Each structure stands twice: as structure tokens, then as C-alpha cells.
């Protein structure tokens, strides 16, 4: 959707704010609210089954999006996409936490997160190439088809260490609420969610409107697909960040949050020089370099929340994490950025001013949140081991 934004906007005659809703809110709120029940279900049912079913459904919804005849139809398919993709990460987080020791957790979760960015990179390179040579509809169909080839492979490769699921009960609302209260009673976890939600707001907003900036500000839509190479690079920076986080944790586990501080601050100068560059190629280089830094936190963030919970809450904790970062990141960032572009800022660099305003606000919030999270980290994680 981020790659194809400019083409979709012209074809369906929609505004930047509507594109923000399409990219963000239509997907994120469904994804977010589905994440918690999907996480609870993954703690009680087959995690492998949830991953495989979700893969089939979201791939089919992506293909169907290529046949959407209206903005409303595209919104509907995005909502289906949100429900089905909510089945993946809570189950995957729990499987990873069960299969690997805690001291390697940031590295392992970062390898998982690197796969996400490899996929996003492919969407720019493969999807962008198809869109340039054909159109956005063909691109949607092309990127959805591989997802229908993978389910049989996933079914035979994925292993759930839980040997007996026959006594699992259906998700119980009261028990779920009790566990959520247990998690959210911890100040450090609350600040964790706020901080990484702010970083997600930056990441999703940049991804949503990168093509708009390149098209509207710099007049270089031909460079949009090249952003995919930098997204591929994020896969590497995410893995590196996970390794560094586990090294930092040898002296003090709370130091894993230093990765969050780095992601929130080090990319700001690069975003500024990229958004206000005087030509498209310079903008691409600076913005691409900035995303290598600002998105490096992804694996560490997902790993950190697992230290706050016991074994029977791992998928639910993943669902809670995805709920918060989706509402704040997907749901608020892109629509707010689009609204600022349409209403508040004018001139050739209107999109750049809107995006940088959101980035500055999110980074400031993240810095405060990580500082607060580190203050009570030790006490709150010890409570999890006693649960």
C-alpha cells in the first residue's frame, strides 16, 4: 500500500487524508483489536494452525485488493487483511520465546523482525517494478500469490513445543482481562508500550508517505522502488540491534532500552536533510539511511515485553504489544500526517513539513518513555518470574 499510494490516489480520486486512513486506520484498528483475542487464542490453541490460516487469508485479501472497484472495497479488503495478519505475530512471539533461552531473546526476535523488513523491501522492489510496468492492481495480485504457495511448507516446518492441546479451553474473557490487568499494572511495561508506539508512529508514517514525498515534493516517482534496498538494509540493522541489546543486557538487562533511545534520536538529522533536500536522489539517500536507524528497534521491542510475563501469557503479551503500536503507529500516525498535508502546511515542501512534525513529536515522546521504563524495569520483571 505504501509503494502504490500515488497510483491509488490518482486512480480512485482520493485525498492524502483518505490514503492515510486506507494505509493506517482501516488496517490498524482491526489488526489492533483482533490482536488481543488472537493472542489469547494462540495461548490455548494451535499456534501453527493460526499462522497457516492467517497466511492463506491475508494473501487472498491482497489478491482481491487488485480487483477493488472503489475506495470502499479497498477499505474492506484492508480490514480482512488486518484480522488475518493479527493471527501471526502473537503466535510467532510465543513460539520463539519457548524455543530459545532468555539471554538470546533480543537476537532471536530481531531475526524474526528482519523477515518483516525483507518482505517490505520486496514489496518496494518487486511490487514497485510491476506497478511501473503495469499498474497498482497487477502489483497487488503479484505480491499476494506467493503467500498461497507457502502454507503447506509452513505446516510441515513449524513446531509447537506444547505436546497436548486437547484440554485447552476456549478463550475466557474474564481470565484474559485479569491477565491484561496483571501486565498493565507494571509501570515499566506501560512506558515500554508508549515509547515503542511512538517509534512505530514514526516508522509507519514515513512508510505511508515516502512515495508521496518523492512524487509531490521532488517529482521523482521513478526512485520510489529503490527505497526497497534500504528496507532490505533494515533487516540487517534489526539483527545487529538485537545482538547489541543482548550484549548490553549482560551488565544490566534494562540497557536493552538503549536501542530505543538510539532509534529515537540518531535518525533525526538524516530525516531532516532528506525531507528538505534539493533533489530526489539526495532525499532518497538520507531518508533511506534514516530508516536504517529508526526502525532498528523492532526485534528488541517485541523481545522486551516477554520479560514482563509468565509462560502462559506470551501470545497475549504479543497481542497487547501489537494492539498498542498499531493504534498509535498505523492508526494515528498516517492519518495525522495526511491531515497536516491537506490542511495545515502549504507550498512545495508541505508533505515534508507534515512528516517531520510527526517525527519530532514521536521521538520526544519515545525518549521520555524509555527513561521512565528503565527506572522500574528490574522490579517489574521480577514480578513476572514470581507469577
Query: Which position has the grid cell 501489537?
Result: 322
Rounded Cα–Cα distance for residues 156 and 52 (Å): 10
Contact status, residue 186 vs residue 320, Cβ threshold 8 Å: no
For residue 164, being part of any structural domain is answered with no
For residue 79, being part of any structural domain is answered with yes
Q: Which pLDDT belongs to residue 166?
A: 46
Q: Which pLDDT belongs to residue 24?
A: 64
Q: What is the CATH number of the domain that holds 243?
A: 1.20.1250.20
Rounded Cα–Cα distance for residues 197 and 179 (Å): 21
| 19-78 residue pLDDT tens | 777 766 677 778 777 877 887 787 777 888 888 999 999 999 999 999 988 888 888 898
For residue 349, being part of any structural domain is answered with yes
Rounded Cα–Cα distance for residues 324 and 159 (Å): 28
For residue 166, being part of any structural domain is answered with no
For residue 272, being part of any structural domain is answered with yes
For residue 147, being part of any structural domain is answered with yes
* Low-confidence residues of the chain: pLDDT under 70: 2, 23-25, 161-173, 384-387
Q: Minimal CA–CA distance to 230: which of 298, 289, 309?
A: 289
Q: pTM here? A: 0.77
Q: Minimal CA–CA distance to 326: which of 104, 38, 69, 70?
A: 38
Q: Provide the residue range defining the domain that includes 153.
A: 5-158+171-386
Q: Provide the number of structural domains found in the chain.
A: 1
Q: Which pLDDT belongs to residue 382?
A: 83
For residue 244, being part of any structural domain is answered with yes
For residue 365, being part of any structural domain is answered with yes
Q: Which pLDDT belongs to residue 169?
A: 53
Q: Which pLDDT belongs to residue 386?
A: 57
Amino acid at each position: 500500500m505504501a509503494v502504490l499510494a500515488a497510483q491509488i490516489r490518482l486512480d480512485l480520486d482520493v485525498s492524502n487524508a483518505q490514503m492515510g486512513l486506507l494505509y493506517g486506520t482501516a488496517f490498524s484498528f482491526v489488526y489492533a483489536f483482533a490482536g488481543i483475542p488472537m493472542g489469547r487464542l494462540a495461548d490455548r490453541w494451535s499456534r501453527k494452525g493460526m499462522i497457516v490460516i492467517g497466511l492463506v487469508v491475508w494473501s487472498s485479501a491482497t489478491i482481491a485488493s487488485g480487483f477493488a472497484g472503489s475506495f470502499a472495497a479497498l477499505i474492506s479488503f484492508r480490514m480482512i487483511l488486518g484480522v488475518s495478519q493479527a493471527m501471526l505475530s502473537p503466535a510467532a512471539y510465543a513460539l520463539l520465546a519457548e524455543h530459545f533461552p532468555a539471554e538470546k531473546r533480543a537476537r532471536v526476535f530481531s531475526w524474526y523482525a528482519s523477515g518483516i523488513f525483507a518482505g517490505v523491501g520486496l514489496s518496494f522492489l518487486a511490487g514497485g517494478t510491476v506497478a511501473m510496468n503495469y499498474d497498482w492492481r497487477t502489483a497487488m495480485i503479484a505480491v499476494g500469490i506467493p503467500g498461497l504457495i507457502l502454507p503447506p511448507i509452513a505446516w510441515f516446518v513449524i513446531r509447537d513445543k506444547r505436546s497436548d492441546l486437547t484440554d485447552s479451553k476456549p478463550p475466557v474473557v474474564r481470565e484474559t482481562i485479569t491477565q491484561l490487568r496483571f501486565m498493565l499494572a507494571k509501570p515499566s511495561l506501560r512506558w515500554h508500550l508508549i515509547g515503542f508506539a511512538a517509534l512505530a508512529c514514526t516508522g509507519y508514517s514515513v512508510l505511508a508517505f515516502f512515495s508521496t514525498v518523492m512524487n509531490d515534493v521532488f517529482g521523482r516517482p521513478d526512485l520510489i522502488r529503490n527505497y526497497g534496498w534500504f528496507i532490505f538494509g533494515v533487516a540487517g540493522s534489526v539483527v545487529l540491534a538485537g545482538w547489541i541489546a543482548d550484549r548490553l543486557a549482560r551488565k544490566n538487562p534494562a540497557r536493552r532500552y538503549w536501542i530505543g533511545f538510539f532509534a529515537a534520536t540518531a535518525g533525526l538529522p538524516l530525516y531532516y536533510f532528506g525531507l528538505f533536500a534539493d533533489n530526489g536522489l539526495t532525499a532518497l539517500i538520507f531518508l533511506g539511511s534514516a530508516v536504517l536507524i529508526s526502525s532498528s528497534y523492532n526485534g528488541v521491542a517485541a523481545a522486551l515485553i516477554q520479560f514482563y510475563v509468565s509462560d502462559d501469557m506470551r501470545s497475549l503479551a504479543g497481542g497487547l504489544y501489537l494492539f498498542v503500536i498499531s493504534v498509535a503507529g498505523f492508526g494515528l500516525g498516517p492519518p495525522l500526517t495526511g491531515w497536516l498535508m491537506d490542511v495545515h502546511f502549504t507550498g512545495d515542501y508541505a508533505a515534508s513539513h507534515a512528516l517531520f512534525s510527526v517525527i519530532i513529536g514521536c521521538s520526544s515522546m519515545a525518549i521520555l518513555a524509555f527513561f521512565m521504563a528503565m527506572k522500574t524495569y528490574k522490579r517489574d520483571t521480577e514480578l513476572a518470574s514470581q507469577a
